[in-house]
Structure 1
């Protein structure tokens, strides 16, 4: 769980609500159903219109990475590669077949399968690099869905404001109904700008960071598998992968 993401969202909402209340405002007045429907529905519809279904679905599937990111244990991965290398040196590449068939990561399973099949080092490297590039692009495409949400949201907020003002003008002679239209107008703008800058754009940037972490992890595994194809010893493989080893940062993520 990424506690910093939860904390950041909480701090942002708290600061806005508390600052508004310091000026005498009532926080409950910031909630307006019609304005929220206009902004969220309009923004979502616009993004659905421009995005392929496969990319949109992937964006939904990785959205939880913002608050519950995947865990990548670099040290454990290096130890795994070393153990695979030791097993291959002692028993041959065919000894890794069971690992290739049962490994939960398709990228690693494919790399080991190519190694077992006796592909050349260059073919192995080319295939793994192409898969890595394509995987990265697909995941970044999905993260850009949230950038698009952040781009359309303020504009839809302005649209909601105009609709609210149109409603208000239609009740110009009825003051008790005039206020509802004005409230919708202003709150639609707030929702549009707020959702873009407090949620959608930060989500897009956090997802991009998570994608890069996943690519770095897969790059480590690819380099390890390629080193195995070169016949490197477990010790030499560890030395090659040492640059990927990082100390666990003191951060709000566990």
Structure 2
């Protein structure tokens, strides 16, 4: 679980809820018509904007805002130092038994291509294509979250207009003014909360996660290419360390 995401959600919603409770009954902020307008309208407009397959697929991408399942750069460098030393001592084919134990599809594919004897340039082209399509998939997920964040306040404004029209139509009956005004104000509130506490922060986190994952994939690709070229393990370590800030670089032991 990503602690920053969890703490951020608890903190933001907790403070909003605390402000509501201290100001009176929280039930006055519950309005079913407002929920239907904002939630239903936002989801519906987004479904019009994107193919259904993209909408359904985004759920898997959104999980990355809560779960950080990526290896650390230090672990990747450690792996490649082991692969490089093994390949240097016993030959490139000695890596083949290790491929079955690897869970990372990208690393597994790259090492398999290397063991199969493909030219480094061909391996690079294949892996760069993989990275490119990975970025495309992630960008779609972040884009959908941003779209949800844009539609939610817009639907809130639509609800506000609906509530104001209802209120103006029934000004002669004071008992109807309160419910109509509640719809007018609460839809704006719901839209603002969803956009600024949920959808837009998720879009930002997905963009950050995508950059981090692409960086790790590029590290893996350069490590694989270096092994396929038969480079010295020390040179490989220096190449992979160059992806990291100085304080995080693996020190020679």
Which band: TM-score by shorter chain?
0.7 to 0.9
TM-score, reference length from structure 1:
0.87
Structure 2 residue 124 is the aligned partner of structure 1 residue 116:
no
Specify the SS of the correspondent of 1:184. helix
Residues 1-254 of structure 1 correspond to what in structure 2 (within 5 A)?
1-20=1-20, 24-169=23-168, 171-245=170-244
Contact 1:75 1:245 (8 Å CA) reproduced? no
Q: Quick one: distance in 2 between partners of 1:92 and 1:54? A: 45
Tell me by how many angstroms 1:236 deviates: 1.9
Tell me by how many angstroms 1:124 deviates: 1.4
Q: Quick one: distance in 1 between partners of 2:213 and 2:81? A: 20
Tell me by how many angstroms 1:82 deviates: 1.4
Q: CA RMSD in A?
A: 2.3
Contact 2:38 2:152 (8 Å CA) reproduced? yes
Tell me by how many angstroms 1:145 deviates: 0.6
Q: Quick one: distance in 2 between partners of 1:59 and 1:94? A: 39
Q: Quick one: distance in 2 between partners of 1:231 and 1:94? A: 12
Tell me by how many angstroms 1:25 deviates: 4.2
Contact 2:152 2:195 (8 Å CA) reproduced? yes
Give the gaps of 5 or more residues in structure 2.
249-253
How many aligned residue pairs are there? 248
Distance 1:248 1:30, change over 3 A: farther
Q: Quick one: distance in 1 between partners of 2:55 and 2:103? A: 24
Distance 1:208 1:109, change over 3 A: same
Give the gaps of 5 or more residues in structure 1.
250-254
Tell me by how many angstroms 1:167 deviates: 3.7
Contact 2:154 2:191 (8 Å CA) reproduced? yes
